[in-house]
Structure 1
Amino acid sequence: MKKVIMTLISFLLFNMNNVFATPINDLERDDTAVGVISGSKNSMYYLETQTTDNLILGISYRDLRNDKSATDYYAQIRTDNDTLRVIVGNRISDSHSIGYLGGAVQSELADDLEGYASLIAGNGLQELQLGANYRLTDTSDLNINLSTLSGNKSSIGIGVSCKF
């Protein structure tokens, strides 16, 4: 299994492109996650914290290098079913603000491996992300994801997050 993961990581490192959405992290109450996802044309940094049993608040910043930068302020609300979340957010890019709604689902795929899918949509914004978080340690994860943004912009990204 580790050989497959390392092969996939190596492949992704040579094929990275724009990365847009923040990964779906599995946090506990009062946990905070800090992460970075990198691609050949951008970098993304995020901070999120689970403030109650059902509410995660976050902020992310994307430096698209050759294009605009964007900042997202968002909330993820866990439903009674721990695998489903509602996402509410606002994306600010070049003094334009776009509110969005969406959802996410996550599930354990194997030991130390969780998969997720998220979809957000707003006025002129549609974004789908499929990804997986591989637990490196109790406090750090490796994230691999595929994102599709409106306008046929697709990307593969790899990153790491630390929880404290």
Structure 2
Amino acid sequence: MTATATIDEVVCLRPATSTDFDLEAVVKSLLEPVFALPGGGVLERLADIAQVEQMISDAVNEQPDDLYLTTAESSGMDNAIWPDGDPVQAGARDRIPVGVPVTVEGSQDVFLFDKDEGGLFGSDDDVLGSVTISEDDRGMGPLSKLAHSEEEHSFYYVNYHVD
């Protein structure tokens, strides 16, 4: 049997980090020579304070994702099922209406991607997480699944229904 799922909306809980490397580790490695100076131990202890780590984390997470969806783990806008055209910016707490139908035979994965520009510090588009929709969800009303990427530190809810 075949069912049709409609991705109603995507809710961004936390966008991906804005860097493709561990910023905190880079900052600490740059400060390593300073830590070796007399009195540097105080600075090293300050660098480990939770508030400083939170400030670094907040700085890294300020940029919204350039979101698009696919039904295969293949990046690129030519593989996108949504949106038509450019990716949509998704920042923390954004509720993004989607309204795209997806054919489900048994089950179907939906992947969330962040479009990257590449370049010196950039990379290929990043997988922000995925969800699996089952045709067994048919008639269950509005459903929600969490898409998460351990690597990108992103969290999104995918809200959908299956007819």
Structure with the higher fraction of residues in helix conformation: 2
Q: Computing the radius of gyration over CA atoms, which structure comes out larger, 1 or 2?
A: 2
TM-score (norm 2): 0.32
Structure with the higher fraction of residues in strand conformation: 1
Select the structure with the greater relative contact order (CA < 8 A; seq sep ≥ 6): 2
